[in-house]
Amino acid sequence: MSERKSCISLQLAHPGCFYHNSREIAPLYLVRSPEVNDCDRKAKEAYAYAEELYREASTNYMKRTKQRLKIKQEKLLWEAVIVLNSTHTLKDVQKLAKYLEKKYQWQATQIVVHHDEGYKDKRGITRYNYHAHIVFFMLNKSGIYVFKKSNFGKKSMAILQTEVAKILKMPRGESKQTSKRERLSAKQYRQVEKEKDNMMEKLKDVSVDAELFEKYAREEHQAKKRLEIENEALKSDLEELKKELFEYKKKEKQKQAEDEEGYIPSLLT
């Protein structure tokens, strides 16, 4: 079996990431018990900590600028996914998180090591996908948004990949252009995507503090739907009023014509 190489990727965190990472909502594609994992914060603790960081950033921003903080909630959390080997521990990943916090001012809200994912090869041997998740809150303590995707071009990401390899004491991974890494088959990919959908359905029945990061988009969508319904109702009412106005004018013309036809001038003046 070839030696695992380091790699870090960054992506917007999805609303249920804290529950997914802590395995409080566990996907079905796991190859062994989540008990082998390690997690620094359960989902509710992580959400509460993110909210605390948001309040602190908002307060400091107001004091500094005399203005309210305006930021799209869905951009506050970004998730780093890091390739590990079987010997890495939560302590190793926390060391990496501290380095990233110091260098970029990102604030880690949840750190998890996963040893429960993988696949079976053609011989039926389980190949484990050792990796970690770090969910970062991207406002610093002053309320400044400290993550810009434009700052992480090929050169910056190459430097970051090298730094991660050194901290985790792993061989550095190759770029996508030169790497010949095996990808998930179409069947495996469909299974993963199906499990993501199942997880999101389960989240609907779970009362979580994720509403802080979801409510704005949801309320906007609902408001748009209500406006569409109200608009259709107004159109219908307008058509009815037009019909009534037409009938009224028609009757008035008929009445006026009848009055003129039956009019007899008075001879008494």
More confident residue, 92 or 256: 92
What token pair was written down for 218? 């949801």
Which tens digits make up the pLDDT trace of 99-156?
Answer: 999 999 999 999 999 999 988 877 888 889 999 999 999 999 999 999 877 777 888 8
Residue 233: which pLDDT band, with cuts at 50, 70 and 90? Answer: confident
Determine the length of the chain.
269
Indicate which CATH number applies to the domain containing 170: 3.30.930.30
Q: Is residue 110 part of a domain?
A: yes
Neighbours of 263 (CB within 10 A): 7
Q: Which of 40, 44, 69, 67 is nearest to 141 (CA)?
A: 69
Q: How many CB atoms lie within 10 A of CB 143?
A: 20
What mean pLDDT do residues 73-83 have?
A: 93
Residue 91 has pLDDT above 70, yes or no: yes
Q: What does DSSP say about strands 118-120 and 107-114: parallel, antiparallel, or unpaired? A: unpaired
In a domain, 233, yes or no: no
Cα distance between residue 138 and residue 256, in whole Å: 75
Cα distance from N-terminal residue to C-terminal residue, the chain: 121
Q: Measured between alpha carbons, how far is 138 from 145 in angstroms, rounded to an integer? A: 6
Six token digits for residue 144: 């400044």
Q: What is the pLDDT of residue 208?
A: 52
Maximum distance among all alpha carbons in the chain? Answer: 122
What is the percent of the chain where pLDDT is above 70? 75
178 domain-assigned: yes
What SS3 class is residue 181? coil
Higher pLDDT, 260 or 61: 61
User: Is residue 148 in some structural domain?
Assistant: yes
pLDDT-derived band at 200, boundaries 50, 70, 90:
low
Query: Does residue 58 fall inside a structural domain?
Result: yes
Residue 8 has φ and ψ, to the nearest 5°, of -130, 135
Minimum mean pLDDT among 198-207, 216-225, 255-264: which range?
Answer: 198-207
| Gap between the Cα atoms of 245 and 248, Å rounded | 5
Residue 268 in any domain: the answer is no
Res 163: pLDDT: 95
The count of other CB atoms within 10 Å of the CB of residue 61 is 21
Give me the domain span that covers residue 23: 8-183
Q: Please say whether the beta carbons of 97 and 164 come within 8 A.
A: no
Pairing mode, if any, of strands 131-137 and 126-128? unpaired
pLDDT of residue 4: 86
- Structural domain includes residue 262: no
Which residues, other chains included, contact 171 with Cβ-Cβ below 8 Å and sequence gap of 6+? 3, 5, 6, 165
Does any domain span residue 78? Answer: yes
The number of distinct structural domains making up the chain is: 1
Mean pLDDT for all residues in the chain = 82
Q: What is the pLDDT of residue 242?
A: 83
